[in-house]
Amino acid sequence: MIDKRKKDHLRISIEKEVESGTTGFEDIRLVHEALPELNFDDIDLKTKFLGKPLSCPVIIEGITGGVSNARKINRDLSSIAEKFGIGFGVGSQRMAIENPELADTYQVRDIAPNIFLIANLGAVQLNYGYGLEECEKAIDMIDADALALHINPLHEVIQPEGNRNFSNLIEKINSISGKLKKPLIAKCVGSGISYETAKKLKVSAIDVGGSGGTSWSLIESYRGNVKTKKIGKTFAGWGIPTAESIREISKLGVPLIGSGGIRTGLDAAKAIALGAGCVGIALPILREWSSRGERGVEEFLDQFLTELRIAMFLTGSKNVRELKGKI
């Protein structure tokens, strides 16, 4: 059942229109510097996130695992991440926790030994028998540098097979964070996170996962019965726009991944200017891989990083740190 659902999610994400809402980046203006006093060729994209060096402030977000073709997707994309010096996350590892024979569909360390690698489990599983042991297993399975617990109440409540008990999760997430051997990232999925909720979390970092990009409600509208299809479309644009989520949560001083509808290097520059430490992208990467393979992904990233450099140049920012606040 889970196998079919995961395959459906991949197919729909590649084939259908699954983006909805607004990221809010269209309302953000970076401060133009007519005389940037910089040599464009000297712009430095290097940064650190949770103590791990990155050649540029980008993470390929978790896409898949546990299903046919997942091993190739993860290995192809992690190899590219190694080449570019960017971060990489795997999809939810629940399938491999329940069936260890699937672990190799997530394992990439042999070909990407130096990347910032993020393990992944659903936070809601803490209400369905999971605890510190499963979280540690997810990290050990792939030799990860951090664990993301993804938070997706809209997706779970819309999908027919969803786990809908989200009670007392803040306490459980904080408990795991205090005991886990590696950093814990609270990763929102397509609906963002409010300031009030974020300040209750005692985690190493937050991945905002705001609205305006991939809508999991819309993905579910392509699955299930007539009722699910209608409800999925009703809530397609639900959530906090990515730009708003970053702006508000950055006040807390917690390390942030800006994700949710990041489609260009200019989007990335705006996210970082608002307070993100780096940005996460998934859907464009998956679609480039599906249509043009590794070459397509590399060309996308080349253009993305060129756009980011241009935005930095035009704001007089010689490095990522100087880009912050240029709005």
Residue 208 contacts residue 249 (beta carbons within 8 Å): yes
User: Taking each helix axis from N to C terminus, what angle separates 265-274 and 283-314, rounded to the nearest 10 degrees?
Assistant: 70
In a domain, 11, yes or no: yes
Which residue(s) pair with 89 in the sheet?
Answer: 118
Q: Tell me, what DSSP letter sits at residue 131?
A: -
Angle at 139 between CA 203 and CA 262, to 5 degrees: 60
In a domain, 311, yes or no: no
Which secondary structure element, helix H or strand E, spans residue 82, and what is its range?
A: helix 70-84
Tell me what pLDDT residue 224 has. 75
Domain total for the chain? 1
List per-residue pLDDT tens for the chain, 327 residues long.
688 899 999 999 999 999 999 999 999 999 999 999 999 999 999 999 999 999 999 999 999 999 989 999 999 999 999 999 999 999 999 999 999 999 999 999 999 999 999 999 999 999 999 999 999 999 999 999 999 999 999 999 999 999 999 999 999 999 999 999 999 999 999 999 999 999 999 999 999 999 999 999 999 999 978 899 999 999 999 999 999 999 999 999 999 999 999 999 999 999 999 999 999 999 999 999 999 999 999 999 999 999 999 999 999 999 999 999 999
Give the separation between CA 34 and CA 316, rounded to whole angstroms. Answer: 9
In a domain, 324, yes or no: no
Residue 94 contacts residue 125 (beta carbons within 8 Å): yes
Tell me what pLDDT residue 313 has. 98
Tell me what pLDDT residue 68 has. 87
How many CB atoms neighbour CB 32 within 10 A? 10
Residue 119 contacts residue 142 (beta carbons within 8 Å): yes
Domain extent for 224: 2-30+51-299
Which secondary structure element, helix H or strand E, spans residue 164, and what is its range?
A: none
In a domain, 325, yes or no: no
Q: What backbone torsions phi and psi does residue 250 show, to the nearest 5 degrees?
A: -60, -20
Residue 223 contacts residue 159 (beta carbons within 8 Å): yes
In a domain, 187, yes or no: yes
In a domain, 122, yes or no: yes
Q: Tell me, what DSSP letter sits at residue 257?
A: E
In a domain, 313, yes or no: no
Q: What backbone torsions phi and psi does residue 44 show, to the nearest 5 degrees?
A: -115, 120
Q: Any alpha helices (H) in 180-282, and if so which ranges?
A: 195-198, 216-221, 226-234, 242-249, 265-274
Give the separation between CA 146 and CA 302, rounded to whole angstroms. Answer: 26
In a domain, 43, yes or no: no
Tell me what pLDDT residue 307 has. 99
The structure's pTM equals 0.98
Tell me what pLDDT residue 272 has. 99
CATH of the domain at 108: 3.20.20.70
Q: Which residues, in sequence order, are CB contacts of 141 under 8 Å at separation 6+?
A: 93, 96, 103, 106, 107, 119
Tell me what pLDDT residue 226 has. 85
Identify the sign of the CA torsion 323, 318, 308, 90. Answer: negative
Tell me what pLDDT residue 111 has. 98
Tell me what pLDDT residue 268 has. 99
Which residue(s) pair with 122 in the sheet?
Answer: 150
